[in-house]
């Protein structure tokens, strides 16, 4: 069983490093490194969602075999997972046995922020307010200069995202995770993710903000472990 995890805006595959030893022996965690991040830092950032999805599909296809797999994405990663699912369906490719959308509004809810247009101090104050950013980054002008274009590009991908809402529904079971104090999502509308799948869907809430996956890491991992185990028993 393989679990592919897609990072949030500005994040590299390393954001899931601490997860690796916490999963059951039968589950292989595979964080996906996006272009322009981490080990692929020297590669150009994506110009649009389509480029990102195409790249992720190539990575998946290089690692998939006959064993079942699942997808997990947090924030921007959830948006990318949603589009990857539709691309897989269009290609008649093997689908994941289950999917996790974390910390992201349902796709039909249009973005209302324009963080990618902010400049200087205003931009970084917005980043700080979201939480999850290492203190060493926020206090280093050099690191902020490096990450500003990365974060802005990712925010632009998310904030200019306009999904095709006329496609067939997702055909995998879904688990939606979110923090009850997350100001980046419409907490009272998260159940509307049910509009996008024809299969079972469940919702898991955590007492935290946008980065509840860090605040409640063990609880999140436990939920994912249990979900994968129960899903594998049904396959």
- Following DSSP, what letter does each residue of 97-117 receive, concatenated? SEEEEES---TTS-----GGG
Specify if 218 maps to a domain. yes
pLDDT single digits (tens) 27-71 = 999 999 999 999 999 999 999 999 999 999 999 999 999 999 999
Specify if 28 maps to a domain. yes
- Domain of 93? 2-108+164-234
Q: What is the CATH number of the domain that holds 6?
A: 3.40.50.1820
Whole-prediction pTM: 0.95
Specify if 117 maps to a domain. no
CA distance 234 to 200: 13
Specify if 145 maps to a domain. no
Number of domains in the chain: 1
Specify if 146 maps to a domain. no
Q: Can you give the pLDDT at residue 135?
A: 78
Torsion angles phi and psi, residue 69, rounded to 5: -145, 165
Q: Answer for the pair 32, 4: CB distance below 8 angstroms, yes or no.
A: yes
Q: Can you give the pLDDT at residue 189?
A: 96
The residues, ordered by sequence, that sit 6+ positions from 4 with a Cβ below 8 Å of its Cβ are 30, 31, 32, 60, 63, 69, 70, 71, 72
Which residues in the chain come in under a pLDDT of 50?
A: none
Q: Which two tokens stand for residue 223?
A: 């939920």
Q: Which two tokens stand for residue 50?
A: 């389509």
Specify if 133 maps to a domain. no
pLDDT single digits (tens) 139-152 = 888 998 999 999 99
Specify if 84 maps to a domain. yes
Q: Can you give the pLDDT at residue 35?
A: 98
Specify if 135 maps to a domain. no
**For the chain, how many residues are written?**
235
CA distance 31 to 27: 13
Q: Can you give the pLDDT at residue 46?
A: 97
């Amino acid at each position: 069983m393989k679990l592919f995890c897609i990072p949030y805006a500005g994040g590299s595959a390393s954001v899931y490093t601490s997860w690796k030893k916490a999963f059951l022996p039968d589950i292989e965690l595979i964080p996906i490194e996006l272009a322009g991040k981490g080990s692929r830092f020297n590669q150009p950032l994506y110009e649009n969602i389509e480029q990102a999805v195409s790249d992720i599909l190539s990575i998946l296809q290089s690692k998939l075999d006959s064993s079942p797999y699942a997808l997990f994405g947090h924030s921007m990663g959830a948006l990318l997972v949603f589009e990857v699912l539709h691309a897989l369906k269009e290609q008649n490719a093997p689908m994941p046995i289950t999917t996790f959308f974390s910390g992201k509004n349902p796709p039909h809810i249009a973005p209302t922020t324009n963080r990618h247009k902010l400049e200087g101090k205003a931009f970084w104050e917005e980043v700080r307010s979201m939480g999850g950013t290492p203190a060493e980054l926020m206090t280093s002008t050099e690191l902020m200069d490096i990450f500003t274009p990365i974060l802005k590009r990712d925010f632009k991908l998310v904030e200019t995202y306009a999904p095709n809402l006329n496609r067939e529904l997702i055909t995998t079971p879904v688990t939606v995770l979110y923090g009850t104090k997350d100001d980046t999502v419409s907490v009272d509308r998260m159940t509307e993710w049910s509009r996008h799948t024809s299969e079972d869907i469940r919702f898991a809430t955590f007492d935290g903000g946008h980065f509840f996956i860090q605040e409640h890491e063990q609880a999140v991992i436990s939920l994912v472990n249990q979900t994968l185990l129960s899903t594998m028993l049904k396959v």
